[in-house]
Structure 1
Amino acid sequence: MPDNHPLPALFDAIQQAHQALRPTVLETPLAYSSQLAALTGCHVHLKCEHLQRTGSFKFRGASNKVRLLTEAQRRGGVITASSGNHGLGVALAGHEAGVPVTVYATTTASALKLDAIRALGAEVVTLDTDPLAVELEAAAEAQRQGKLFVSPYNDAQVIAGQGTIGMEIAEQLPQVDAVFVAVGGGGMVSGIGTAIRQLKPNAQIIGCWPANAPTLERSLAAGHIIEMEEADTLSDGTAGGIEPGSITFPLCQRVIDRTVLVNEDEIRTAMKAVARFERWMIEGAAGVAVAGALKLATDYQGKHVAVVICGRNILLEKFLGAIQ
């Protein structure tokens, strides 16, 4: 892991963000689910990031990044790449701070999310290629234009913003034994894991992936970042490869205690369970974390587990199709 990104320094940045982002970023509830507890035999606590502004945890990292821009960067504007939630978070943070935002996305990205991004005044550029290629092109275009590129995950300030979730979980559930987190590029789990490592060192961090899109999980198993073909998944927010040299890779190596893969039927079952028991419509990536907790429940009997419900931004038709 690069020396300029040690865990203590990142934790300091998370602590600063935890204080500085209020009240722009909401402290979301940690809701006890009695019915999921009865189903699993675990004390299940749902971290309600779907109730965060923009409907996703991504607003945390985006807000922290925009908060720390220089005056020149604010005037020049920023470019980012996103399947939706990160772009929406940057668009809102930029809108409120008066920072011009351009968002690159795939042509297959959620129309609901892209329309919401445009409604906040951001420019949207769609490319007919895979998420990682979009990300690399957006970064290259930012360099050509002399603008700042805001990575969805490969950025210490973005990771620090996501890490505020871990700060809240530690405060809201002092007895936490395990935290289940859906993983794509690794920004959220890196931040949460760093905070939990410092505050609750005995708690486990479980990284959850859709079996159809496990690039970072396979990379961790291999010991280096790999490229691989991924299949379609309901968890579009975690799909896609990771940027070569991403700081999240060594962070994930340090903070993730255990990994779990869940198939599409398991994701659907988890989304349906949350809808039935809690009356919440959650997106596929959130379903991945719930599915991971359901799959490993026998290993955490009687334990207090926190499950990050990372977002709600899914088309109604897609949600209904998933749970029927």
Structure 2
Amino acid sequence: MNNRWSFLILLAVLSPVIGIFFGAADLPPKELYQCVVGQCSTQINSLIFWEIRLPRVLVGFLVGAGLAVAGATLQNITRNGLADPYLFGVVSGAGLGASIATLLFDSQIGETLTIFGMLPDVSFSIALPVAAFLGAVFAVTLVQALAATSFGGRGEHMLLAGVAVSFMLSALSHFLLFLGDPFAANKVIFWLMGSLARTELWYAWIMLPVVMGSVLLLILFGRRLDALLLGDENAKTLGINVTAIRLMALGICAALTACIVAYCGGIGFVGLMIPHIVRRWVGVTSRALILGCVLIGGSFMVLVDIIARSALSDQEIPIGIITSAIGSVFFLLAIRQRQT
């Protein structure tokens, strides 16, 4: 087991280092080392390293870690291996927020409202992530309200409520995009595919406290989360407030996923696939599972981003397409393995 943890830590250290070497511009190892110590030979190389490659690697690692942790937590609290952050309406809510931002800030309607003083002069680049975050929070709040009142907070009912909310918000998003300008709609559709292409360093400074705080809280409540794996009735006999712990964990997962989706769009299957891999390596207990998801999830996203940048010579593939393709193949193999 110690050897496995050593390998995971080594992988988490090496994957960002490897990611820095890949990009459209050719930067030799010596030049990268000089940039690390603050002595890049040219201003262009300094810009490429500090403004493009380093932020992208850091944000990619945080995105993978956050989505994997959120997926693992949701699977444990619902006792459902198919639970995924996006099944709780997070992406649909973020898409609705992005659609509203596009309609207001990047269309003729937005121009009209600005002329009449009804809309502040806010940059679309700022409005999009803010609106997406608020939409994601709204979606998960709605799911929580349904689970806590109508359904009693049971895990399987949370999933059903999340799927219903997801379809409802997706329908609203598509209607708004239908009303909006075609060019603006294309921007939202590309954003929903998920990408790290427009990553900036300040994204990492926003995601870092969210991811670290969520991981620390989940580790702190690890034993209580483990009690949910025994079933609601058994957890209650151990003195666990099942509804409160489940809603708290769902709130943490909502904050994690909403923050990531707001800046990077919809990157699917990471929260669904990585926890299954981690359980085979380190077990099912929450604390080990969460730490393993941080290491493997972050490394996985950095390596997948390398593929997104390098697979085609003249353009970049949205990272959500690659993760969905890998995830679908993974689960087809998993299903086949269970049947044999």
TM class by shorter chain equals under 0.3
Give the helix-richer structure, 1 or 2: 2
Task: Name which structure has the greater RCO, CA cutoff 8 Å, separation 6+.
Answer: 2
- Give the TM-score taking structure 2 as reference length: 0.25
* Bigger radius of gyration among the two: 2
Q: What is the TM-score normalised by the length of structure 1?
A: 0.26
